[in-house]
Structure 1
Amino acid sequence: MQQLNLITSSNKTIMYDQYCKMLIGHPYMLSRIISCFVEEAKHLSLDEIKKLIKGVRIGDKIVNPHFHLMDKEAFIKDEGLMCYDIYFYIDLPQLDQSTKRVYINIEIQNKTSPGYHLVTRSIAYSSRMISSQWGREYDSENYDGMKKVYSFWIMPQATKSKDGCINQLKIAENHLSVNYEEKIENYDKEEQLMIYLSKGHSPNDKYESYDEILMPIGALLNNTLNYQEKNEVIKGYGLDDEEFEERMRDMCNLGEVIELEALEKGTKKGTQKERIRKNIEYVRKMMTKLQMTFKEAIQFLEIPEDEEKEIEEYFKS
């Protein structure tokens, strides 16, 4: 906690986003995403998938022989720089004793209308994931070495009308003239999944489809739910992991700090008396809920020295 009051507001937001990525990148979440949506893993149980990704932490490079985190920044000359939230590949054992490697990208996008259609950005990400395999998986002598890519886009701030919508976009074959059927494995190389969730969704209402993954993700990324509410949902869906709970608690605490700071800045437009009253309230919350000392709370809120003395007198009385 002492480290939190040494960083700027923008860094707090970045740190909060990083917590979200770490939690979505936890084996519990990844295994459910893979189980629900990755065709090459449909025959595997959740436990089997978890074993393939066991121990992953976003930021590490190599986890085990089956699961590799990729660099989150991909630069290709004349194509520019692309930054991923979560990017990895996983080798999935098949029923015929072979292994299929798939590349997976997961993005958490709060702005559903950033000035362009997100699905076009998803296509760009999938295309980069394919082109970046050049020289590693395939080349001009062996295009068949190309591996399938999945790009997931999770939008936790979607409108209520879109809540629970999952749109799948993939390459399809159409026979325009004469019926010759290409083997699906020859062209089924990319897939985008657009997942829409609303923060207005009640934790008590199950989704009609894919509830086993939509509810945990929705609760985790819902900034209107507190730690206890999030944890109750997560535990109800089978997660019992101290590290996950600790990170989720830290994320919720940091989110509350950001909200308190935003409110504090808003009070600067009011009178000094009203601002002091609000700051007393914020200091009390930070001391009780976030276990900060009085000095840490004062420093974090950047309260002027003259107001600090008045607030300190209040707590001494």
Structure 2
Amino acid sequence: MDKVLEITSNDHIIMIDKLCKRILGHPEILGRIIKGFIKEAKDVSLEEIIELIKGKKEQEGNSYFQQLNNVIDIAHHGRVEFDYFCCINLPQAAKKRDGHVNCYKTNEHNISGSTIERLESYDKSEQIMIYLNKDHNIKDKYEDSDWIKTPLVIFLNNTYDLLVKKEVMKEYGFEEIEKEVKKMCNLGEMIARENIEKGHSIGLEQGLVQGQKLERIASIKNLMKKMAIPLDKAMDLLDLSSIEKEEMKKYFQA
């Protein structure tokens, strides 16, 4: 498929959105993002971060980063306050942006009065923007943070099959994310099949229309020859619509 995620209906959009959140919110992916791009986590091991994320689950038992508390106690490191929003640009970013990572922070602007708040009172959120390109060559390692970026660009890209993604899981040490990645592959295959079936349907319809057109042309020629009548008279005898008549005139005048 030309697009990374070929969308054919609103239902598919909802399904894709849900699966992307599952992958991004999976402890093995989210843990890497936090470890690699959040300065407060630099002294915490990836294993510790993953275990902390696993402790936060929704009703269905799935781990989600939206449910991480602003304040959390990290073993051997003390009490930490944070609230991170991670935005992954699905592998459709421009080639020149592939692998880039930006960080956006909250700034204070005094609107009324003279109160100046302490930085630590409001600077508790960061937005991490990760740019990925769908045509990234899996053999070309990113210059930095490849252990985060390559799994992301492969897992969120349905132009790669499950076999390729399993190889990435093995190479980069993923042990638990296969279930979510497989769901994304299955959705991609389902959408591809639907597009093929839709294409066949359109092809059959176009073939039928073309066949009817050729049949009308043959009938007109037959009447004009046997009855020695002009084109307009032949079309009247066949009771063609005004649109069909215009189409036939263009054909015979060509």
TM-score by length of 2: 0.64
The residue correspondences of 1:126-145 to structure 2 (distance < 5 A) are: none
Change in Cα spacing, 1:97 to 1:238, as seen in structure 2 (3 Å) is: closer
**Runs of 4+ residues deviating >4 angstroms:** 94-97, 272-275
Q: Which runs of 5+ in 2 are unaligned?
A: 1-7, 109-116, 209-254
Per-residue Cα deviation, 1:20-66 (whole angstroms, up to 9, x for no partner): 21122111011111111222221100111112122555x43898xxx
User: Aligned equivalents of 2:162 and 2:9: distance in 1?
Assistant: 21
Equivalents in 2 of 1:203, 1:38: separation in Å? 25
Q: Does 1:87 align with 2:66?
A: yes
Indicate the SS of the match to 2:163: helix
* Aligned residue number for residue 152 of structure 1: 86
- Cα 1:31–1:9 shift into 2, 3 Å: same
**Which structure 1 segments of 5+ residues have no match?**
1-7, 70-85, 104-149, 174-181, 276-317
Residue 161 (structure 1) aligned with residue 103 (structure 2): no
Instruction: State the match for 2:40 in structure 1.
Output: 40
Determine if the alignment matches structure 1 residue 260 to structure 2 residue 240.
no
Matches of 2:72 and 2:207, distance apart in 1: 60
Higher helix proportion (structure 1 or 2): 2
Question: Normalization by structure 1: what TM-score?
Answer: 0.53
Equivalent-residue separation in structure 1 for 2:16 and 2:53 (angstroms): 24
Contact kept, 8 Å, 1:155 with 1:197, in 2: the verdict is yes
Higher strand share: 1
Where do residues 1-317 of structure 1 align in structure 2 (5 Å cutoff)? 9-54=9-54, 56-57=56-57, 59-60=58-59, 87-90=66-69, 91-93=71-73, 98-103=78-83, 150-156=84-90, 157-171=92-106, 184-241=119-176, 244-271=177-204
Q: Percent identity?
A: 41
Distance 2:76 2:206 in 1: 74
> CA RMSD of the aligned region, Å?
3.3
Task: Report deviation, 1:9.
Answer: 4.7
Question: In the aligned structure 2, how far is the partner of 1:205 from the partner of 1:29?
Answer: 20
Q: Is the 8 A contact 2:56 2:67 kept in 1?
A: no
- CA–CA separation in structure 1 for the residues paired with 2:164 and 2:75: 40
The answer to whether the 8 Å contact 2:102/2:130 transfers is yes
Counterpart code for 1:226: D
Q: Deviations over 1:129-159 (max 9, x none)?
A: xxxxxxxxxxxxxxxxxxxxx2221112111
The structure that has the greater radius of gyration is 2
Q: Secondary structure at the match of 2:67?
A: strand
Q: For residue 246 of structure 1, what is the amino acid of its counterpart? A: K
Is the CA contact (8 Å cut-off) linking 2:74 and 2:80 kept in structure 1? Answer: yes
1:167/1:267 CA distance change after superposition, 3 Å: same
What one-letter code is carried by the residue in structure 1 that aligns with 2:160? Answer: L
Maintained 8 Å contact 1:9/1:258: no
